[in-house]
Amino acid sequence: MIDSHCHLDHEPLYNNIDEILKRSKEAGIEKLLTICTTLDSFIKIKQLVKKDEIIYGTYGIHPHETNNNKITTKKIVNEINDNEKIIGIGETGLDFYYNHSDKVDQLDSFEEHINASIELNIPLIIHSRNAEDEMLNIFNKYKNHNLKILMHCFTGSKKFAEKLLEFNVYFSASGIITFKNSLDLQKTFELIPLNNLLIETDSPYLAPVPNRGKKNEPSFVKYTAQKLADIKQISKSELINATTTNFNKLFN
């Protein structure tokens, strides 16, 4: 299995990384992608990717953090070129639900990340909440650039998913699909082709059933894998093989 989105720089994961890695490997995880959200978090991520061969990282600014973490295309490109285990750009995107950062700042930051992705030809890890129309408008603007897009922890509408598939987007399922009140989301994942799916924990957040309410960790991705396999009406091993292949294809 591959946990395509976790935050190993966050507690309680960071200070218990040896135990986290041990349980991850025992669960059958072969890669962990730890996701950058701020300039400070990248300092820890650069250390973490050296900790173990299964850990890879990204570089980017979460939309919540764009007010206080200004970024440029050039800075993103330089940081990634200097760190060979940094394989993606993000977590970037738009969040007009919480609006922790100014809308204009979010849009400007998002486009800097997109331009870096085009220059480097590597994937964007995207957070989207209450921004479906704006997201589609931006993707249409860049439709001739064949962006590599991963919609992380996808919780969008069925209509949004159908539109995104026109851009050959990848969708990552988190523990949310195991929640009892996520029936609409489960139906959306039914329609998404297997070749466009990944799995993630978003740990230490969003622990899946049966561990809902606990601090999440990468080894719990097995529960999301099982639920997604049930939704797609395939075996867990088939689901794991497909999502692993998809991750390796997307991230080259």
Return the closest-CA partner of residue 4 out of 24, 34, 47.
34
Residue type, 151: M
**What is residue 98's predicted lDDT score, i.e. its pLDDT?**
83
**What is residue 100's predicted lDDT score, i.e. its pLDDT?**
85
pLDDT means over runs of 10, the chain (252 residues): 98 98 98 97 97 98 93 96 97 91 94 98 97 96 96 96 97 98 97 98 98 97 98 98 98 94
Cβ(222)–Cβ(1) below 8 Å: yes
The Cβ-side half-sphere exposure at 177, using a 13 Å CA radius, reads 32
Is residue 130 helix, strand or coil? Answer: coil
End-to-end CA distance of the chain: 16
Residue with tokens 């969040």: 95
CA distances from 78 to 34, 71, 120 (A): 19, 12, 10
pTM greater than 0.85 (yes/no): yes
- Report H helices in 121-216: 132-141, 158-165, 183-191
Sign (positive/negative) of CA torsion 125, 182, 163, 228? positive
**What is residue 168's predicted lDDT score, i.e. its pLDDT?**
95
